[in-house]
Structure 1
């Protein structure tokens, strides 16, 4: 049997993607199938036909998919700044089997084949990355597409990948300056929203710009790539938000009614400065060194104004149901009398600094051995400052002017329309101060005013200020740091049967993530008096016409705080939740791996691929606190818990070249997804009951579970691929995963030996507690089918040269149960995922329209105190379009290198909708409008 080894030239051809791959016919001399395929690739390198622009990127992506030993999807950008999307998530969410969840109107969280973002891993130049969230899932809006050269999504793993994820691994790549020509490039864009400014101090337009420079020095032995990108991107939203829908019974009939609402308008500005440096050196033919550094300064400022409207969870004075849907028992129209509403002027600042550093050395020891050393550092610091300011007509539950208002739910999951009786834009009516008795805390000053009604008796009729709460601040912080090292060796082998190369490696990574949670009650210094809003802080009004509330007062709440109108009281003094939200989790992961590449023939069918085995040993620890209430205040003591485990992860990837330009791929692997960091910490809330629970324990413990272990899966992939054209292919794939050791809510036993009984002061010889939190258990299966095609229409007729279609459809089904046998739906799973792009590119003119569609799913959103909550999210269809013109490709030599484009995002103004029960029970209806970008690129 004849064997071949891919030469450096062949590998360059396979990955460059700049050639038209027209396979030559075999010569009269009989060649083996593998030799014929090698010759065809070499011929393609000689018969190069240059393809530019978007079509070139398509060819690069096709070739990355075609010549990878794994099942992958790829986006390839011709130059830094080629990708037009504002984040990597928007770009890769169009790939087959992938989709994204929007966060504040921007694609941020990516789902692969029905799994949420916590089941996939993200790498940057092959190195695992930290995240700005509480968990592992990367929020991709941190990464600008302008400074990336491409993205590869690994749907099947191999032993050499330095990250774990049941769904897959997403690898973002930078340019290699020694393989690029000298380039200086400027990109600029102007951006605007379809909404006029919803807040008087918000933005409805912005701009972004990128400068990039690639060059080679020292006789092309040193290459440098530098890119700097600056963005100020506006985003606006009209949001309906419901507190919930409580049930009640009347004459034996069950009904559900609106508990309360919190609609508002939001204006955001995302400011992001990014700098990328890549230095590549090849001082000899045997040695290559690469250093890359990425720094991102990220700031998202939000202005939110709206009104909190209590109904069933208000005072229950005069609440009535006017209309009820007979099929669901849902009150579709209701009214309330004499209700006190809360006028909100809020702000939220989310800031993060990301640093990623990497150093890689490759050394060819001889013709057969290559050594690789890699070291990296990734760190992020994130701060959130979320500020709520309250105003109303009077302080407390029974003061001020009450509102008589009616609500009616509209069709289409858009929430309710209100009919108020008060003018909330009247500065003489609306004053600073808390109109509701919320935020009960013994730590607050002036807990109540005795005999407030003046009847000479202190009783339940008196006005209690059990919250001197005139606003609130949430201020959680995140520090996440990851250091990694890898040493690998590859050996080309001769006369070893079907084996062609063996790769050995060892890697070590250490990650430490710390979260500090704190909240602050805000109290006016003039408490208990309410304060008229001073003129210098007034900003006019904002319109809440989209929910029928008319205009409401707008004021600069941040300046009021800065100028000393409020005093602050730490919520953690009396609220255990902050103690359980503050924690540190550390992981030390040691991995050993071996992988063999192979080439064989089964009959006349060439077979290539790899077998791999990866051993992963993990030691995890968490430092936190155990908190308990003592005399109304929270007392904490430190906790420190360690746990270790190991996994053996085999994998196989095989490609069968069944015919010319046709192949069948098979992949099988055992994979894992590590627990969410906010679920595996050791911060606990501890309580001692007067009677034992059903387990016979007096102690109860809730919070994180530091003994959690990863979820596991055994997966199979089978794919048929047909590369029928230089610029086209189609594929059909089937995938199946057996899932086990999943993570669910549950209970477990905690050993409390040595802990003092708070009632007797004794330390018993044996003591246990009932713990509640996340536990391993349960599982099931997930399976799906995937269809994708890239079709250049010149295969139909030469008249259609330049036209093309890219389409994919994915169907996913699951059968999952928790540890108690109850049905369970995987977060992020949409049963149907579709993506379509139609494009035209010829003589410098470019046009394309894209649609991505996904079905209903369960997704993560931020809840109270920025806790992650899962909600039911309705499916959505996003339509984007772009037209552009490249003057150089059109023949204008004096304008060579200049191109312009116009892009529209979310052209159909698709809302983001989440439900809480039946179709009427809308939790969120978020209308973002559309976004338009006008840009240029000039390349020298």
Structure 2
């Protein structure tokens, strides 16, 4: 018996995907669908079918717009005006549910509760509450920073602004979410399945941030707010609290009989974090005492850290729609900020010499010894170091997009232009103070039991809060001593990234069986990114010799972490020229940080919108294919470490190199949504997706030399300009039950088969092109005299899978009883697993005994809960997000990204507000929020998550504010 209502030929939409299993699957489905009959007329389908992700920038951008989805249009375009009567929390929830419900793909969405009001303080925090999404907190600030979707690292996400790719200031392709003030974002959509028209997609998801569009509003709207913050509340060790202020203003209006629309928004904030106490143990060592080696503390480091941040952001949108057939939209976004981390601390060795030239061999005296442990004692020939470091950055992001849409007959055409540029200048000041030259001091310690390195009490012999004692100088002679003094260090890396793109699309309404529309498109993206900069030794200005010293400016003192004693404190910014001079430094490691990458990515795509009936069920969706050509070039430097005998360009010669590659990717995709009646949907997604490598992995260049340990062999490392993307086949299935636009429950499962992934490992490599007559070769062993050695770089591996499930519910309690009107619940849970493990040897910074490590960013379990009450202007909400332990990524003291195991945590946030409902103050609201109410610490570990190696406490953050909308 024929299961289809009618028979139709599949010939008009036959696609040549026979080389790919996914393409074959898409073709089989398409052939079956082509035999189905329409449940409604073509005209009815055109008005009732939606496809929120076929052009990811076109779904409603705020709660004002989200009552109904409209026919999709290219990036920069927007749907028609819609009216929503509900307000506040439920307004944002219903808008987000509308977007999710009307999509033809599997998506998650967040919509602002009001103009300039996402449900959280930051974009990253709001995103992290969605099913299958988790956030890694910043080590320095404690704020949600990087986003993982379905257990994959942040680099697996594509991030768009109004449907367009953007430049970034880091090594990754997508910009940091800190660059986007929450007040300037109207909605966020996460597409978990790809479709053919989605440019800049990621393997895990594509995150589209959307600003408001003025012609989607029915009237002029003006909103402003002020917020006061208190940070680091309830902090440990009695450290100082911080504060902050935030201002926002939004203006939306329409002119000339609603043919012109204008929207502008501004935000500005400054924040100082609470003090954070840090301790670094050097373990346990030994010193001779009365002719016997006894256990003593190895050494210590105490620090007090305080983060600061400020940002100015703005967006502007101008729309012109003189008639129904033409629309032009210009979007502009700007974000400029400064972040910093001030560190004031004290460090020294006890058993261990700090490694410099000016400290003598330690001598233990006046010790109390029990069972081979010197529980207390005095160490002479000792030196301590006061550290005043500053790590900061100034960044700038500009993005401009211009979209023009023209309709004629059955065609809708669009041209979209994008320009985006990001810059970031970082500064890393490291300054040291103490006794100049070969002057020595003493250190008294007590309360040591042989293992309790965190409980030892230290008392230096001198007062290091006295500026006449703790002088700015080369305390230890770290850079070689008298011949190469180093009173500090300064690195100023500079990143510049520019993206230009043009996109042309044409869409035609057709009647080809289940195909109701066809879209043809082409996108060309040109990207140029480079990292340069300068760094070197800081020496005391005035040529005072290797023992030169100067008093630290100012009179401030501060406690060094939990040490119990104070030290000299000062801010080293601006000290170059007045206190210090810079001795520029160039060596093999620094050359490795200089790189540039160029990409030219051409994408042609075809997509068919589907609407029909199969197995007695109506369906909608899309099927299509992308053909992507990539032309990539990486530049860098090759350094022969044997010839690098100094730290100048003359004493460390380098060779500029440039390499590249060209390749194709073909990405078929199929998305179907079946209507199971009674507001029930079954979604199915099948496709191929890619995630491109981080840009620094594509750099050329290398440093090499003879390995000094094990078998003599040439070894080196660098980037890989021939690196291909992560590639995966994906299968998704989702069941969703809706209750109008007020509530839903859903269950989803997914499976990703990785064809290629990126990992780091050594491989055989012939260094012959870079060998010179002065390059030493191995003299013994199996590689004696050979130019062939080992080269560690990012490479493409094969095989592995990622799979899991997601459960979600968004329910107002009024569905249960009218007496519970105003109460509601949002809850979700995801469980993700992977068979992929990476060789640990490619990540020298990962500690522990394991030979292999898990995929970075993968938390097996992630849960979110939000309870709320809203009625008569009152809003109260409590939220918690929880994730299990994972392998995360942090920035080290040399500005490099390092992997570290991070213990899972639970973060609890609270908020309450009241909006005046009538009278001359109508539209005024006041609110209070508390973040990290449970004061969850940030914990790193090596092998045992219950034995952390690093702990950071942030305390609570309180926000108090008021807003006015009219």
What's the TM-score once normalised by structure 1's chain length? Answer: 0.85
Q: Does 1:177 align with 2:189?
A: no
- Aligned ranges for residues 514-663 of structure 1 at < 5 Å? 514-525=530-541, 526-529=544-547, 531=549, 533=551, 537-544=553-560, 547-558=562-573, 561-562=575-576, 564-572=578-586, 575-629=587-641, 630=643, 631-632=645-646, 633-663=651-681
Give the aligned partner of residue 415 of structure 2: 373
Q: Does 1:291 align with 2:330?
A: yes
Give the aligned partner of residue 932 of structure 1: 958
**Deviation at residue 299 of structure 1 after TM alignment:** 0.9
Work out which of the residue numbers 889, 909, 929 in structure 2 matches 1:903: 929
**Deviation at residue 432 of structure 1 after TM alignment:** 2.1
What is the aligned length?
866
Give the aligned partner of residue 348 of structure 1: 391
Q: Does 1:681 align with 2:699?
A: yes
**Deviation at residue 768 of structure 1 after TM alignment:** 5.1
Q: 1:307 to 1:750 in 2, by over 3 A?
A: same
Give the aligned partner of residue 869 of structure 2: 840
Conserved? CA contact 1:418–1:547, under 8 Å: no
Work out which of the residue numbers 854, 859, 868 in structure 2 matches 1:830: 859
Counterparts of 1:249 and 1:403 in 2: how far apart (Å)? 14
**Deviation at residue 10 of structure 1 after TM alignment:** 7.3
Give the aligned partner of residue 8 of structure 2: none
Q: Does 1:479 align with 2:501?
A: no
Aligned with 2:247: secondary structure?
strand
Work out which of the residue numbers 49, 57, 63 in structure 1 matches 2:92: 57
- Aligned ranges for residues 375-454 of structure 1 at < 5 Å? 375-395=417-437, 399-405=439-445, 416-422=454-460, 423-440=463-480, 447-448=481-482
Conserved? CA contact 2:263–2:317, under 8 Å: yes
- 1:566-606 deviation line (CA, Å, top 9, x unaligned): 2221221xx21110110001111011111111112123311
Q: Does 1:162 align with 2:180?
A: no
- 1:171-223 deviation line (CA, Å, top 9, x unaligned): 00011100112111111111122449999999822211111111111111110
- Aligned ranges for residues 620-769 of structure 1 at < 5 Å? 620-629=632-641, 630=643, 631-632=645-646, 633-687=651-705, 699-724=714-739, 726-750=741-765, 755=770, 757-759=772-774
Counterparts of 1:722 and 1:410 in 2: how far apart (Å)? 61
- 1:513-561 deviation line (CA, Å, top 9, x unaligned): 1001432211224343363626xx23332124x52332222234335x2
Counterparts of 2:51 and 2:836 in 1: how far apart (Å)? 44
Work out which of the residue numbers 302, 320, 341 in structure 2 matches 1:281: 320
**Deviation at residue 722 of structure 1 after TM alignment:** 0.7
**Deviation at residue 674 of structure 1 after TM alignment:** 0.9
Aligned with 2:441: secondary structure?
coil
Q: Which range moves more in the overlay, 577-586 or 467-476?
A: 467-476
Q: 1:402 to 1:668 in 2, by over 3 A?
A: farther
- 1:712-761 deviation line (CA, Å, top 9, x unaligned): 11111111111135411111111111123222221234455654532499
Give the aligned partner of residue 784 of structure 1: 804
Conserved? CA contact 2:474–2:547, under 8 Å: no
Task: Please give the root-mean-square deviation of Cα atoms over the aligned residues, in Å.
Answer: 3.7
**Deviation at residue 8 of structure 1 after TM alignment:** 5.4
Conserved? CA contact 1:84–1:146, under 8 Å: no
Counterparts of 1:201 and 1:521 in 2: how far apart (Å)? 32
Counterparts of 2:92 and 2:608 in 1: how far apart (Å)? 31
- 1:794-827 deviation line (CA, Å, top 9, x unaligned): 1121111000010011111111134799643011
Q: Does 1:866 align with 2:895?
A: yes
Q: Which range moves more in the overlay, 228-237 or 589-598?
A: 228-237
Aligned with 2:91: secondary structure?
helix
Give the aligned partner of residue 460 of structure 1: none
Counterparts of 2:286 and 2:443 in 1: how far apart (Å)? 24
Q: Does 1:131 align with 2:168?
A: yes
Counterparts of 1:323 and 1:142 in 2: how far apart (Å)? 56
- 1:901-928 deviation line (CA, Å, top 9, x unaligned): 1111111111111123445764421111
Unpaired runs of 5+ in structure 2? 1-36, 53-58, 69-79, 289-293, 355-360, 778-785, 842-850
Unpaired runs of 5+ in structure 1? 23-44, 325-330, 441-446, 449-465
- 1:89-118 deviation line (CA, Å, top 9, x unaligned): 111111111111111222111111111111
Counterparts of 2:619 and 2:144 in 1: how far apart (Å)? 39
- 1:595-639 deviation line (CA, Å, top 9, x unaligned): 111112123311111112111111100121112343432111111
Aligned with 2:592: secondary structure?
helix
Counterparts of 1:268 and 1:97 in 2: how far apart (Å)? 30
**Deviation at residue 286 of structure 1 after TM alignment:** 0.4
Aligned with 1:95: secondary structure?
coil
Counterparts of 2:638 and 2:928 in 1: how far apart (Å)? 56
Counterparts of 1:690 and 1:193 in 2: how far apart (Å)? 49
Give the aligned partner of residue 817 of structure 2: 797
- 1:64-85 deviation line (CA, Å, top 9, x unaligned): 1111111111111144311253
Counterparts of 1:121 and 1:246 in 2: how far apart (Å)? 46
Conserved? CA contact 2:914–2:925, under 8 Å: yes
Counterparts of 2:151 and 2:364 in 1: how far apart (Å)? 43
Q: 1:754 to 1:736 in 2, by over 3 A?
A: closer
Give the aligned partner of residue 444 of structure 1: none
Counterparts of 1:57 and 1:501 in 2: how far apart (Å)? 31
Counterparts of 1:481 and 1:333 in 2: how far apart (Å)? 59
Counterparts of 1:354 and 1:153 in 2: how far apart (Å)? 22
Work out which of the residue numbers 774, 778, 787 in structure 1 matches 2:794: 774
Q: Which range moves more in the overlay, 627-636 or 800-809?
A: 627-636
Conserved? CA contact 2:234–2:955, under 8 Å: no
Aligned with 1:476: secondary structure?
strand
**Deviation at residue 683 of structure 1 after TM alignment:** 2.3
Counterparts of 2:592 and 2:403 in 1: how far apart (Å)? 40
Aligned with 1:908: secondary structure?
coil
Conserved? CA contact 2:485–2:539, under 8 Å: yes
**Deviation at residue 691 of structure 1 after TM alignment:** 13
**Deviation at residue 659 of structure 1 after TM alignment:** 2.4
Q: 1:563 to 1:467 in 2, by over 3 A?
A: closer
Counterparts of 1:190 and 1:567 in 2: how far apart (Å)? 40
What's the TM-score once normalised by structure 2's chain length? Answer: 0.83
- 1:822-853 deviation line (CA, Å, top 9, x unaligned): 64301111111111110000000011011111
Counterparts of 2:237 and 2:342 in 1: how far apart (Å)? 7
Conserved? CA contact 1:807–1:835, under 8 Å: yes
Conserved? CA contact 1:671–1:713, under 8 Å: yes
Conserved? CA contact 1:410–1:417, under 8 Å: no
Q: Does 1:228 align with 2:266?
A: yes
